[in-house]
Chains A and B, each alone.
Chain A
Amino acid sequence: MSVLVFIECADGKVKKSSFEAAFYGQQVAASLGTHAVAVAVGEVATEELKSLGGYGISRVLVDEEPRLKDYVSQAYTKVVAAATEKENATVIVLSNTNIGAGIGARLAARLQASYAANVVALPEVSGNSLKVKKSVFSGKAFAEETLTAAIKIIAVKKNSLEVKEPVSGEAAIESFSTALTDSDLTGAPQETIRATGDVLLTEADIVVSGGRGLRGPENWHLIEDLAKALGAATACSKPVADVGWRPHHEHVGQTGITISPNLYIAVGISGAIQHLAGVNSSKVIVVINKDPEAPFFKAADYGIVGDVFEVVPKLIEEAKALAK
């Protein structure tokens, strides 16, 4: 019996959300009186994987098969399923990302497992079942769910728990291989196009987002400069993406990307309920809008009622001063 954590990597590095998943997995293992093992695929720096030891992971299985460089749902699922069997894992922990949750779903069907996505807290253990808390109704509510199958899969929502500072310790790295067929690799990407920008929106701790209050794409430097000064990612509201001021992959909200950063700064966004649904899991929300009646102020922790063209430059200046 063990807890298995799937580690997602990008550009040879372990993603921040995977360190969270590792910490979560270790906590679950401790409450079950067992240990946590991780599995990773593709090219990733060994030092990065060893550092998972600081989060309580004793060993990391690594499948370095070159064809696993890009995500293919069947192939990744097969690797994690094989690791599950090898380690006799009864709990599998993944990050609630497009990749993690995608694998979780396939694994659940393959292993006849119980699966909970969007999980926001550590589970309660009772006998052979786990009770988890999940975010539902686009962040407007939570559900408590009991997982009863022999194997339980949990996809952890980003920023859901306070991850303790890593302690010293290195995980042992073990090479691991799974026999893959051509059909496992059906749907491999032919080409990857990366957007420019320093910080990934879904991984960002701070997000600065703009709406129609910016009046036009020519004013977007205000959003970009504030984001740069804070080390943040940039985002936008749906109307802004719809009129083409910003690309669709920056659109946060109910039909766009759902994010849960530590800090969300909304500039010139009134806060329609559909927008809120995509950002209301953010820890702290700041709203800057000239309309004091903007519904977003009801959901905000901090607010400035004022002209964004006067307010934002002051914030940029102050944030730059702070960075120095």
Chain B
Amino acid sequence: MKILVCISNVPDTTTKISFSPDNKELNTAGVQFVINPYDEYALTRAIELKENQGGTVTVLNVGLPDTEANIRKALAIGADDAIRVNAKPTDAFFVAQQIAYYAKEGAYDLILMGKESVDYNGFQVHGMVAELLGWPAIVPAIKLDVSGTTATLEREIEGGKEIVPVNLPLVASAQQPMSEPRIPNMRGIMTARTKPLKVVEPISVEVKTKTEAYSLPEKKSGVKLIDPANAGELITLLRNEAKVI
């Protein structure tokens, strides 16, 4: 089984977000970039499947050379090889087109990625890739097993889950608790250095969305503290002042 795992490079979750003076770009000074946490669930599950049933795991990232540290981390965790599409990921459609193009070229059986990235929260690259390839997309998946050419997934729905059997090939997006992400060990880190990382150029895609500016939410006016002895007063305030109950 050939598995393609798509990873994106995102600011560490504890990052305090700020922007350039013209509000056009994220201020990356002092920001640590990590593998998107949801993509780590996808990556770990792919490696588990490979360990149990054989096959290969390729990671793909659309990014400039500065993402290679995280690509190497994915190789250290256990992926076999990697592709970096040498481009700044401008929008989801651009990224999806790159993935679909290189996925076709590699004839993969399964494409896995996180349900969304924690930076742009689009929840859309998997759906776009699936549509471009004409494959089913099971989104968001909390469990994934493969037996022969059939996958069985659990898809999260509002207030429950669905059991979905589906033939390969398919696209699935990962959400907790699909797997328990791993920390690379020393052997993994050493072997990652020698694993192939292919750099390819992007295909040309027409831009359909343009980010004009970023802004931060208005600051909260501060917490109103209520004496625990009169806790019931909170309910009155929520009803009469905040008008939410």
Contacts and interface: CB of A to CB of B under 8 A. Distances in A.
Contacts of A197: 159
A109 B155 contact: no
Interface string A237-259: 00001000000110100111010
B244 A262 contact: yes
A197 B220 CA distance: 32
B225 A104 contact: no
A145 B211 contact: yes
Interface in A266-289: 273-274, 277, 280, 283-284, 286-287
Given A116-B209, A136-B119, A304-B225, A141 B215 contact: yes
B29 interface: no
A302 B237 contact: yes
Q: Chain B interface secondary structure, helix, strand, loop or mixed?
A: mixed
B170 interface: yes
Contact of A149 (B120, B158, B163, B208): B208
B142 A248 contact: yes
A102 interface: yes
B136 A114 contact: no
Interface stretch (A45-53, A216-224, A316-324): A316-324
B164 A106 contact: no
Given A109-B127, A145-B212, A255-B176, A74 B136 contact: yes
A189 to B, nearest CB: 4
Interface string B187-222: 000000000000000000011111111111100100
A116 B120 CA distance: 10
Given A102-B137, A137-B17, A286-B234, A193 B161 contact: yes
A301 B13 CA distance: 23
B72 interface: no
Given A115-B124, A148-B208, A307 B228 contact: yes
A118 B120 CA distance: 9
Interface in B136-177: 136-140, 142, 155-167, 170, 175-177
Contacts of A193: 160-163
Interface string A68-109: 001111100100000000000000000011100111111111
A71 B139 CA distance: 11
B204 to A, nearest CB: 14
Contacts of B120: 136-137, 143
Contact of B231 (A116, A189, A248, A306): A306
A106 B162 contact: no
Contact size range, A = 35 or more
Contacts of B17: 137, 140-141
Contacts of A135: 121
B235 A73 contact: no
Contact of B244 (A97, A192, A283, A299): A283
Interface string B85-110: 00000001100100000000000000
A81 to B, nearest CB: 10
B245 A254 contact: no
A286 B139 contact: no
Given A114-B208, A187-B166, A206-B245, A286 B238 contact: yes
Interface string A291-310: 00000011111111111001
Interface of B: 11, 13-14, 17, 19, 37-38, 92-93, 96, 118-132, 136-140, 142, 155-167, 170, 175-177, 206-217, 220, 223-228, 231-232, 234-239, 242, 244-245
